[in-house]
Amino acid sequence: MSSASQFANRRSQMTSAWRFLRGFIENPGHVASVLPSSSALLSRLRDLKCLRDSEFVIELGPGTGETTQALLESMPAKSRLLSIELVPEFAVHLREMVIDPRLHVVQGNALKLTELSALHRELAPDAVISGVPFSHFSDEQANRLVRSVRVCLKPGGTFVAYQFRNDVRDHADELFGRPQVTAVPLNIPPLSIFEWSKPASTSKEMARSDWSLSRNHGAIGNKY
Ligand SMILES: C[S@@+](CC[C@H](N)C(=O)[O-])C[C@H]1O[C@@H](n2cnc3c(N)ncnc32)[C@H](O)[C@@H]1O
């Protein structure tokens, strides 16, 4: 890399870090961290197996785009990524910083996942990768979100959440079973990556169970 592009790269990282900090000061509950994710987390995200042959992935809480870029680096050339970000300034920044024809950024609430993904007429995702802070959601919101993820995922799809705390497990384990857990001690603060799989079965029983999840918990039925 030339020194001019190294300088430009460093400048854009500083701009992102500054925007992230400002986003945290203005929306501490939603952003939940003063720094964007570390290179240690980004390299773990790039290694996720579920990205390799994916056609369609949904990212929840991309922030200023460091994680978005990492996911795109491991996704196939013909895949698509839908990134849903609540904070409007982050969504604007992300559209400017990550220029990639595979990426579609939506400024919206991950709690409306089913409506947003259906609105965009996408395929069922191979993976949902989430950085939204489950510890700041009420029990009802956290349950609604994990149920929407489970309903919208492809059979055999993967739900990934990287979190500072374990709260997400109180909601997701009940639906998906035990996750694979990877510690990322070098992130500041240290965090864990949880990975759950939706069974690959396409049986009627499974379709019925997903439909009843969506009816009983207020999500819209699976439109995929
Ligand atoms: C811990 S930060 C992670 C940011 C980025 N992925 C990273 O790792 O650097 C959490 C992100 O989730 C976003 N967020 C929080 N609640 C959200 C919601 N309900 N819907 C969409 N995004 C949300 C925040 O604005 C913030 O960008």
Provide the domain limits for residue 176.
Answer: 42-216
pLDDT tier at 213 (50, 70, 90 boundaries)?
Answer: low
Cβ neighbours of 148 (radius 10 Å): 26
What spacing in Å lies between the alpha carbon of 32 and ligand 1's midpoint? 8
Output phi, psi for 218, to 5 deg: 80, 0
Whether 87 is covered by a domain: the verdict is yes
Among 132, 113, 115, which Cα is nearest to 27's? 132
Q: What b/e sequence results for 82-110 when a residue is b if at least 16 CB atoms lie within 10 Å of its CB, and e otherwise? A: bbbbbbebbbebbbebbeeebbebbbbbb
Question: Is pLDDT of 35 > 80?
Answer: no
Question: Is pLDDT of 208 > 70?
Answer: no
Query: Which residue puts its alpha carbon closest to atom 26 of ligand 1?
Result: 31
Whether 31 is covered by a domain: the verdict is no
Mean pLDDT lowest for which of 42-56, 102-116, 118-132?
Answer: 118-132
What spacing in Å lies between the alpha carbon of 58 and ligand 1's midpoint? 13
Whether 15 is covered by a domain: the verdict is no
pLDDT tier at 220 (50, 70, 90 boundaries)?
Answer: very low
Query: Which residue puts its alpha carbon closest to atom 11 of ligand 1?
Result: 61
C-alpha 67/C-alpha 45 separation (Å) is 8
Reduced to 3 states (helix: H, G, I; strand: E, B; else coil), residue 146 is helix
Whether 222 is covered by a domain: the verdict is no
Instruction: Give the mutation target among 19, 24, 34, 87 for probing the ligand 1 site: most ligand atoms within 8 A of CB.
Output: 87
Whether 91 is covered by a domain: the verdict is yes
180-184 and 191-197: which strand pairing?
A: antiparallel
Output phi, psi for 222, to 5 deg: -70, 120
Number of domains observed in the structure of the chain: 1
Question: What value does the mean pLDDT of the chain take?
Answer: 85
What spacing in Å lies between the alpha carbon of 132 and ligand 1's midpoint? 4
Ligand 1 atom closest to residue 30's alpha carbon, by position in its atom list: 15
Ligand 1 atom closest to residue 110's alpha carbon, by position in its atom list: 20
Cβ neighbours of 180 (radius 10 Å): 11
> In this predicted structure, what is the pLDDT of residue 122?
61
The answer to whether the predicted template modeling score (pTM) of the entire model surpasses 0.75 is yes
Whether 26 is covered by a domain: the verdict is no
Query: Which residue puts its alpha carbon closest to atom 2 of ligand 1?
Result: 31
Name all residues whose Cβ lies below 6 A of ligand 1.
30-33, 36-37, 60-63, 66-67, 84-87, 90, 109-111, 131-133
Instruction: Give the mutation target among 20, 21, 30 for probing the ligand 1 site: most ligand atoms within 8 A of CB.
Output: 30
> In this predicted structure, what is the pLDDT of residue 6?
54
Contact yes or no for 198/151 (Cβ under 8 A) = no
Residue 211, domain CATH: 3.40.50.150
What spacing in Å lies between the alpha carbon of 84 and ligand 1's midpoint? 9
Cβ neighbours of 12 (radius 10 Å): 14
Whether 155 is covered by a domain: the verdict is yes
Whether 126 is covered by a domain: the verdict is yes
Output phi, psi for 209, to 5 deg: -70, -35
Question: Is pLDDT of 221 > 50?
Answer: no
